[in-house]
Structure 1
Amino acid sequence: MSVNYEGTALVLNCGSSSIKYQVVDTTREEPLTVGLVERVTNHSEGVQTIIASLEQPGSGVDIADITVVGHRVLHGGEEFSAPTIIDDAVERTIALLAPLGPLHIPANLAGINAARAAFPNLPHVAIFDTAFHSTLPEAAYTYAIDRRVAAEHGVRRYGFHGTSHSYVSRETAKQMGRSYDEINTIVLHLGNGASAAAVQRGRCVDTSMGLTPLEGLVMGTRSGDIDPAVVTHLARTAGMTVDEVDTLLNRQSGMLGMTGYSDMRDVNAAIATGSHEAKVAMDVYCRRIRGYVGQYYAQLGHLDAITFTAGVGENDHVVRAGALGGLEEMGIVLDPDRNAGRKKEATLISTDDSRIQVWVIPTNEEREIAVQSVAAAS
């Protein structure tokens, strides 16, 4: 997506009980304002609270300058693969996708409905978390199950964190002084939710999350990859219902399930005090990442860069070292001094003679949503 379009976007990320927002002038690097409305019981009231905040003297925003409203939407299914101007028909189609994101899509829709009522004369654009991955080849998105069942129920790999992978992969090329369409990059978005993406000359060709955000890397509370028979095993031997297993794998697993902590800072602190469980959990976490790096290297055939981003990726040098340690034969060599500490700006952490560059680049999903929304509305 070109960044040459100029405009000011109100970016909304609506959850069930909160609304994150930013106002972004695409000609400026920093947002005009950033905010969070919590304990939302009515999204219309939440949007009105945002408007009242923007109207305050000193907010740094003139509401009259806003040219578009960009909405983060979890899932586009097979229906939406690009930024989409929202009308009533689009809202209805998004609503039909709720089974693919039952915790998120209803909240996304509530925010869209409230914002369209509050800003009826502005274009509203849906930016789907899955859209960046719409370029996956058929072999990458197809699951090896009965094709009729898969087609009837939309069972395929969709991928998530698309706005982050899009922004970071493009920013990696910029930092390297290379053209986006000439380099291959692996992006590691490591936060409470975590995913990897293989980006080949500007197009995503593989990603670790699947039908839902549960598949792939180990996460704060999600298991990531697991034998699917675990579900039936627990149903038969533990008498767990489908919903109970779903809760277990999404909310009680990952680092939380293995250590009692979902925050990697707490895991590192436990390791420092000699916790065997925490050390094993960290090894599991890094081993999974390392496996995906190797897999995507093989799929890409040639690799120019690996980039860490998001909360853990940007701030935890132990994870970065653990994930890529021992890969020197593959041309990946970290510089311990460059890697040390938290990174608040784009930082090269590999050695000068590392054949594959390794970067830490803070993600900026809101800016990506703003840029794509302004472009779609232009």
Structure 2
Amino acid sequence: MTPVLVINSGSSSFKYQLLDMDTESTLASGLVERIGASTGSGTGLGIARHTVHAAALAAPDGPAPTVVDATRTRELPIPDHTAGFQVMLDAFASDGPSLEDHAPVAVGHRVVHGGARFFEPTVITPLVEINIDELSVLAPLHNPANLAGIVAAKQAFPGVPHVAVFDTAFHQTLPPAAYTYAIDREVAASHRVRRYGFHGTSHKFVSEAAAVFVGRPLDELRQIVFHLGNGASVTAIDGGRSVDTSMGFTPLEGLVMGTRSGDIDPAALFHLARRAGMSIDQLDDLLNKRSGLLGLAGSNDLRDVLAGIDRGDEHARLAFDVYIHRLRAYAGAYLAQLGGADVISFTAGVGENAPLVRAATLQTLGFAGVEIDPERNAERGRGIRIISTDSSSVTVLVVPTDEELEIARQTLSVART
């Protein structure tokens, strides 16, 4: 057994998953949230959830476990990430699997922003920590939280390598024409303004899984991957290399998302600043937290938007139409950039579970050889599945993403060298 622990740390929470990389199965997973929370009395209560996957722990020749998943939820004070990691260790000790018997050989950390410095999984040294901290200027909501998780995890697991896997790394193959903004080059260089792209771990996992599924070498395929969740992005992938992606300097650019606007004329912000008196912070809040589906339809959940359409809500209908219009625009742009596509994949919460979105996005792409099979598209399933017709010249897939597994794979590849 080769256990690897994966950590995804936020400012007030962190998710974790222990995987056996011999079988690429999950042994246990958990969530520690409301770190540093404070009540009116000044006593903070965090919440910890720990799930054990008993089936994964059964001996190969032993009896089948009677419980597949066992979940325990606890509420207790969690003042900081270090305390949060102690809660996680306590959960392993009380609920299993025992870390004495399943001690991780490495710990992988999701880090959102690697700038132009990090283009591959990297063993975390003090210098790497300094670089992650310096890059916080590009991701102030994410990198400091990622670093807090790293510091706490290194205290909890001091004897194993810790590896940073960067969301931006997969997009370091973007050509200059794709990552360069047409602004004064000295200003851009001085302040590191360029397209970085995000969701790279998911795009990498999905594109490689799709290549295996269709039975063709990755380096021969032209792929478009739609990662559609509350955050959403699309990437053009040529021969396994990201050549264009919708998110840019920040995760705000590109598609319409749950609460984010995606593409917008920058002059609209000048107008709102001058005419509405909105500050930089107010504009930031508007575009990141009060726009997208929420701003148009009153909910950031696509299921609510679709329910609103069924009720005849015109705002919901417009929100959906704007959402699809943007998806089609990027699909067409990336078909042009790639000179056509061999595989188009949908992943993440919306991409995997919203047949209407998939059908509407590709409805106008018959000219590119895309044909969707309505029955296949409507079917529910857990694994990778084809939703295009047998005669379609482009294979269209639904590919469940697994960013934790991808982080574990990359972590192990570095830890073993």
User: TM-score of the superposition, structure 1-length normalised?
Assistant: 0.96
State the one-letter code of the partner of 1:20: K
User: Which residue number in structure 1 is paired with residue 184 of structure 2?
Assistant: 146
State the one-letter code of the partner of 2:219: D
RMSD (Å), alpha carbons: 1.2
C-alpha deviation, 1:184, in angstroms: 1.0
Partners of 1:154 and 1:58 in 2: how far apart? 45
The answer as to 2:6 corresponding to 1:11 is yes
User: Which residue number in structure 2 is paired with residue 3 of structure 1?
Assistant: none
The answer as to 2:254 corresponding to 1:259 is no
Partners of 2:204 and 2:409 in 1: how far apart? 11
Residues 118-175 of structure 1 show CA distances to partners (whole Å, capped at 9, x for unaligned) of 1111100000000000000011000000000000000000000010000000000011
Structure 2 contact 106–160 (Cα < 8 Å) conserved: yes
User: Which residue number in structure 2 is paired with residue 31 of structure 1?
Assistant: 26
C-alpha deviation, 1:320, in angstroms: 0.7
Residues 42-91 of structure 1 show CA distances to partners (whole Å, capped at 9, x for unaligned) of 00011111111122354376565310000000100111111110011110
Alignment of 1:283-298 (within 5 A): 283-298=321-336
Partners of 1:113 and 1:178 in 2: how far apart? 41
User: Which residue number in structure 2 is paired with residue 21 of structure 1?
Assistant: 16
User: Which residue number in structure 1 is paired with residue 39 of structure 2?
Assistant: none
The answer as to 2:260 corresponding to 1:222 is yes
Unaligned runs of at least 5 residues, structure 2: 37-79
Structure 1 contact 343–362 (Cα < 8 Å) conserved: no
The answer as to 2:312 corresponding to 1:317 is no
Structure 1 contact 7–374 (Cα < 8 Å) conserved: no
User: Which residue number in structure 1 is paired with residue 145 of structure 2?
Assistant: 107
Partners of 2:2 and 2:169 in 1: how far apart? 22
Where 1:56 maps in the other structure, the secondary structure is helix
User: Which residue number in structure 1 is paired with residue 106 of structure 2?
Assistant: 68
With over 3 angstroms needed to count, the CA separation of the structure-2 counterparts of 1:60 and 1:295, relative to structure 1, is: farther
C-alpha deviation, 1:343, in angstroms: 3.7
State the one-letter code of the partner of 1:12: I
Structure 1 contact 74–105 (Cα < 8 Å) conserved: yes
User: TM-score of the superposition, structure 2-length normalised?
Assistant: 0.88
Structure 2 contact 340–368 (Cα < 8 Å) conserved: no
User: Which residue number in structure 2 is paired with residue 336 of structure 1?
Assistant: 374
User: Which residue number in structure 2 is paired with residue 192 of structure 1?
Assistant: 230
C-alpha deviation, 1:210, in angstroms: 0.3
User: Which residue number in structure 2 is paired with residue 281 of structure 1?
Assistant: 319
Between 22-31 and 60-69, the greater mean CA deviation after superposition? 60-69
Where 1:258 maps in the other structure, the secondary structure is helix
C-alpha deviation, 1:38, in angstroms: 1.3
Structure 2 contact 173–241 (Cα < 8 Å) conserved: yes
State the one-letter code of the partner of 1:355: S
Structure 1 contact 343–360 (Cα < 8 Å) conserved: no
State the one-letter code of the partner of 2:353: N
User: Which residue number in structure 1 is paired with residue 57 of structure 2?
Assistant: none
Between 344-353 and 186-195, the greater mean CA deviation after superposition? 344-353
Equivalences, count: 373
Q: Choose the corresponding residue for 2:241, options 181, 185, 203.
A: 203
Structure 1 contact 7–67 (Cα < 8 Å) conserved: yes
Partners of 1:340 and 1:302 in 2: how far apart? 25
Where 1:367 maps in the other structure, the secondary structure is helix
Q: Choose the corresponding residue for 2:35, options 16, 36, 40.
A: 40
Partners of 1:55 and 1:176 in 2: how far apart? 42
Structure 1 contact 23–61 (Cα < 8 Å) conserved: no
Residues 88-136 of structure 1 show CA distances to partners (whole Å, capped at 9, x for unaligned) of 1110111001111111111101000001111111100000000000000
C-alpha deviation, 1:7, in angstroms: 3.5
Partners of 1:353 and 1:26 in 2: how far apart? 38
With over 3 angstroms needed to count, the CA separation of the structure-2 counterparts of 1:70 and 1:63, relative to structure 1, is: farther
Partners of 2:286 and 2:384 in 1: how far apart? 36
State the one-letter code of the partner of 2:97: S
Where 1:107 maps in the other structure, the secondary structure is helix
C-alpha deviation, 1:302, in angstroms: 3.1
User: Which residue number in structure 2 is paired with residue 249 of structure 1?
Assistant: 287
C-alpha deviation, 1:231, in angstroms: 1.2
State the one-letter code of the partner of 1:65: A
C-alpha deviation, 1:34, in angstroms: 1.4
State the one-letter code of the partner of 1:132: F
Partners of 1:207 and 1:78 in 2: how far apart? 15
Instruction: Work out which of the two has the higher radius of gyration on C-alpha atoms and give 1 or 2.
Output: 2
Partners of 1:178 and 1:65 in 2: how far apart? 37
User: Which residue number in structure 2 is paired with residue 98 of structure 1?
Assistant: 136
State the one-letter code of the partner of 2:114: G
User: Which residue number in structure 2 is paired with residue 360 of structure 1?
Assistant: 398
Partners of 2:379 and 2:256 in 1: how far apart? 22
The answer as to 2:226 corresponding to 1:231 is no
Where 1:32 maps in the other structure, the secondary structure is strand
Structure with more contact order per residue of length (Cα contacts < 8 Å, sep ≥ 6): 1
C-alpha deviation, 1:10, in angstroms: 0.4
Unaligned runs of at least 5 residues, structure 1: 1-5
Structure 1 contact 317–342 (Cα < 8 Å) conserved: no
